[in-house]
């Protein structure tokens, strides 16, 4: 299956951000990794036909980021609802033996994913953005941490790089 994801990165210029995102995407793809392969807007075979890099503070960048975070939240909520339903409808033994029709173990896996097809945004370190608070920390350049870590990003812009991934 193909999925649209976004990598939120820091950079002084778009090309720097794009290169950082491609490095993160390389680490997310390959044998036994979150995705099989990826393509970006600069690839002729990419399904993504929009800009290859967007500033998060521009209208289209913010819209893309919001849409992708919405997919992550929607996936979580749908899986959570099915887990709750299975817990109410099946005994522990039936769930253990996988006699439920809601694919209980798979849905638990979806809820707990840190990367992969249920997660549509990744941060500057390549970590899956699973919560709104994580996204807020990324957008504030981790000011909550104080110290040197956020200081190295002070003069950098925040970009989102969309990618078409396959898993």
Q: What is the domain partition of the chain in residue ranges?
A: 2-166
For helices 59-89 and 132-139, what crossing angle results, to 10°?
160
What tens digit of pLDDT does each residue of 116-158 get? 999 999 999 999 999 999 999 999 998 888 877 778 888 999 9
User: What is the DSSP secondary structure assignment for residue 50, as one 8-state letter?
Assistant: S
- Which residue's structure tokens are 């980021």? 65
CB 3 within 8 A of CB 153: no
Name the CA radius of gyration of the chain, rounded.
18
What tens digit of pLDDT does each residue of 40-56 get? 998 888 888 888 999 99
């Amino acid at each position: 299956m193909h999925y649209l994801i976004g990598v939120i990165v820091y950079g002084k210029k778009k090309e720097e951000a794009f290169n950082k995102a491609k490095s993160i995407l390389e680490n997310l793809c390959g044998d036994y990794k979150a995705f099989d392969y990826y393509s970006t807007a600069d690839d002729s075979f990419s399904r993504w036909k929009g800009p290859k890099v967007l500033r998060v503070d521009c209208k289209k960048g913010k819209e893309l980021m919001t849409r992708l975070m919405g997919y992550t939240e929607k996936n979580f909520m749908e899986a959570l609802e099915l887990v709750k339903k299975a817990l109410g409808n099946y005994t522990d033994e039936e769930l253990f033996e996988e006699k439920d029709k809601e694919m209980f173990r798979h849905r638990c896996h979806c809820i707990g994913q840190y990367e992969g097809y249920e997660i549509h945004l990744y941060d500057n370190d390549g970590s899956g953005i699973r919560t709104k608070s994580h996204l807020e920390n990324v957008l504030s350049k981790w000011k909550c941490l104080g110290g040197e870590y956020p200081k190295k990003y002070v003069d950098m812009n925040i970009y989102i790089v969309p990618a078409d991934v396959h898993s």
